[in-house]
Amino acid sequence: MSDKQRGLVPAVASVFKRAKHCFCQLHYLGNIAEPIHKTDEAMKIELRQGVRQEIGPLVRQEKIEKEGVLTVTGGIPSPMETVSPSEVKDCLERLIAHHSHPRLEQLYQGLCTALQQVQPVYQRLHQVAGWLTKIADLLDPQGKPLRSSEQVQEDLLNYMVKIETISNQQPEVQPFFQTILKTTISYAPGLFHCYDIPGSPSTNNDRESDFRDLNRRLLRTTGQKGLTRSVIQRTGAWELLHRPDTLQNTILAFRHIAPITL
């Protein structure tokens, strides 16, 4: 199993000619979600700008400088919880219903204007996010009868036909569908093998964590960055195997190794 790296795919096919090369499903889902994430981040920026423009003077307090002695304690304030504008809007509605005030009304109207500016983008993102949720559910074996790779592939392709029809009727979501379609076609040759191999994982994230652990261990013991690749090339992939966590356990493990006589 791999992340479908460009050079690794032909290398595996050349060396392990009869092996099934699985592709990580989490990386597949992350790739089809990438353009949606970028659009979501751009929408958040636009929303913040709209909020500042509409109600900035109402909520921005003037900074008052106070005389005193500046001290550095090294303390870092705890991060505040993020509150979405929609939550603020709901709160304002309750406040106005309880006790109306011109300033609250102005704040509420300005916030509604800012939310309306990003509403079309939000609706598109909400719709496409539903597609991703459904695709992830189709691939997830939990709570479903045992399925073969052909059955899972057929389910996914049938759903692709469904969202293609929707995207053809809604040009604004067409770019998102094209990314999903292109990525699905690219991953399809190795996306479904795990359903035919008992005990086969659908992701290689655990193996990636082994590489991260090795990198941290080498940095801790040598003080040098970037040694992972050279160490594996020089000494072999055994460096990735889990090893005893204490010196005593390491000694016990070595006692089970038969001595080699030269």
| Residue numbers of the domain that contains 243 | 206-254
Question: Phi-psi category of 172—alpha, beta or left, where left has phi over 0 and alpha has psi -120 to 50?
Answer: alpha
Residue that terminates a domain, selected from 164, 185, 203: 203
Same-domain status, 144 and 195: yes
Residue 261 domain-assigned (yes or no): no
Most confident of 39-43, 205-209, 216-220: 39-43
Tally of domains in the chain: 2
Same-domain status, 136 and 179: yes
Same-domain status, 211 and 199: no
Model pLDDT, residue 212: 73
Residue that terminates a domain, selected from 172, 187, 203: 203
Model pLDDT, residue 95: 85
19-23, 135-139, 229-233: lowest mean pLDDT where? 229-233
β-strand partners of 23: 2
116-120, 148-152, 188-192, 237-241: lowest mean pLDDT where? 237-241
Most confident of 35-44, 77-86, 208-217: 35-44
Same-domain status, 52 and 174: yes
Same-domain status, 179 and 112: yes
- In the three-class reduction of DSSP (H, G, I as helix; E, B as strand; rest coil), residue 23 is classed as strand
Same-domain status, 184 and 228: no
Burial zone of 117 (CB within 10 Å; 0-12 exposed, 13-18 middle, 19+ buried) = middle
Could you tell me the pLDDT band of residue 82, with boundaries at 50, 70 and 90? Answer: low
pTM: 0.71
Tell me: the pLDDT tens digits for 88-119? 778 888 888 888 888 888 888 988 999 999 99
Which of the pair, 255 or 260, is modelled with greater confidence? 255
Give the CA distances from residue 55 to residues 85, 104, 116, 141, in Å, rounded to whole numbers and listed in that order.
12, 11, 14, 48
Model pLDDT, residue 43: 94
Mean pLDDT of 1-9: 84
Is 209 within 8 Å of 234 (Cβ atoms)? no
Tell me: the pLDDT tens digits for 144-177? 999 999 999 999 999 999 999 999 999 999 999 9
Tell me: the pLDDT tens digits for 21-52? 999 999 999 999 999 999 999 999 999 999 88
Residue 15 domain-assigned (yes or no): yes
Give the CA distances from residue 72 to residues 66, 88, 141, in Å, rounded to whole numbers and listed in that order.
16, 34, 54
Closest CA to 128 of 92, 90, 163, 80: 163
Residue 135 domain-assigned (yes or no): yes
